[in-house]
Amino acid sequence: MATLVGGITTSHVPAIGRAIARDLQGDPYFKPFFDGFPPVHAWLDRVKPDVAVVLYNDHGLNFFLDKMPTFAVGAASEYRNADEGWGIPVVPPFRGELDLSWHLIESLIGEDFDLTTCQEMLVDHAFTLPMALLWPGRAAWPVTTVPVCINTVQFPLPSARRCWQLGQAIGRAIQSWNTDKRVVVVGTGGLSHQLDGERAGFINKDFDLKFMDSLVDDPTWATRYSITDLVELTGTQGVELLMWLATRGTLSAAVRKVHANYHIPISNTAAGLMVLENAL
């Protein structure tokens, strides 16, 4: 069976893409963020994943309001990035992992998750920037991928509880995939931030740090909150912590924190990073 090597959660702010494009990783504004990644690179060198299942939220590249799936799973041999309208460079395409895509689809629908399946799918910055952070400066991506998109655009959003359950089901599916491949789960988004309204610029450091701690020892802590609670506590885009929660859900009850970083701000966002692996 496949080996689930662990989970990585990271922010996916577009400004990160601008910084990478301009080689600003060492700039004083960006350095505290990019300095979080060398330990993750070392961990990836050690655990050597073949496949990345990427849990992210599309921001209006692949999905528009004409068709807005709550949960969508990619089942394509290749995923391309494209112009999102505000000008970060388009990255090279990603190879799909079709066998895992269909195994995930069959397993998740078998567990009563009513998915949308996508044999064509563009992936936006929420997918591409974390990949560029985890595997920087590569001519080709060293892993194949399965994108899993969670709606955070149009309310009602799936609840924290449901995203946790989705993560658990994804974890079970990976563990039952009949292969010798090694799989890492990547969850992108957050942490606290709000782009829209008079409350733009809202950040909640106390909540973010409590949330990050909870993922280690008390992983269902955030499932007590409704989506409206989470918007109030973390901002309208802070709800992207749903992808962190789902990623944590893929792992076992006991995890080991390999690495964490937290920095305010990157653009309007409290930028977080965590690496967790199963303790047993």
Partner 1 sequence: MTATREIPGTTLFDGTQARKGYALNKMCYSFNAAPNREAFKADEEGYCSKFGLNDAQRQAIRERNVLKLIAAGGNVYYLAKFAGIFGLDVQDLGAQQTGMTKDQFKAKLLAAGRN
41 is catalytic: no
- Residue of the chain from 23, 45, 67, 86 that contacts partner 1 (CB under 8 A): 86
CB atoms within 10 A of CB 280: 7
Stretch that binds partner 1, among 108-116, 154-162, 169-177, 248-256 (CB under 8 A): 154-162
Residue 53 β-bridge partners: 146, 185
Q: Which of 59, 193, 259, 263 is catalytic?
A: 193
Q: Alpha-carbon distance 71 to 112, whole Å?
A: 12
Q: Which is nearer to partner 1, 83 or 106 (CB)?
A: 83
Residue 156 engages partner 1 in binding (rule: CB under 8 A) = yes
From the list 20-28, 73-81, 96-104, 198-206, the region that binds partner 1 by CB under 8 A is: 198-206
- Binding partner 1 by CB under 8 A: which of 199, 217, 218, 279? 199
Binding mask 15-54 for partner 1 (x = CB under 8 A): x---------------------------------------
Sole window of 33-41, 70-78, 131-139, 259-267 interacting with partner 1 (rule: CB under 8 A): 259-267
Considering the rule CB under 8 A, would residue 195 count as an interface residue with partner 1? Answer: yes
Applying CB under 8 A, the residues found at the interface with partner 1 are: 14-15, 59-61, 64-66, 82-87, 153-156, 194-201, 203, 205, 226-229, 231-232, 236, 263-265, 267-268, 270
Residues labelled as active-site residues: 125, 193
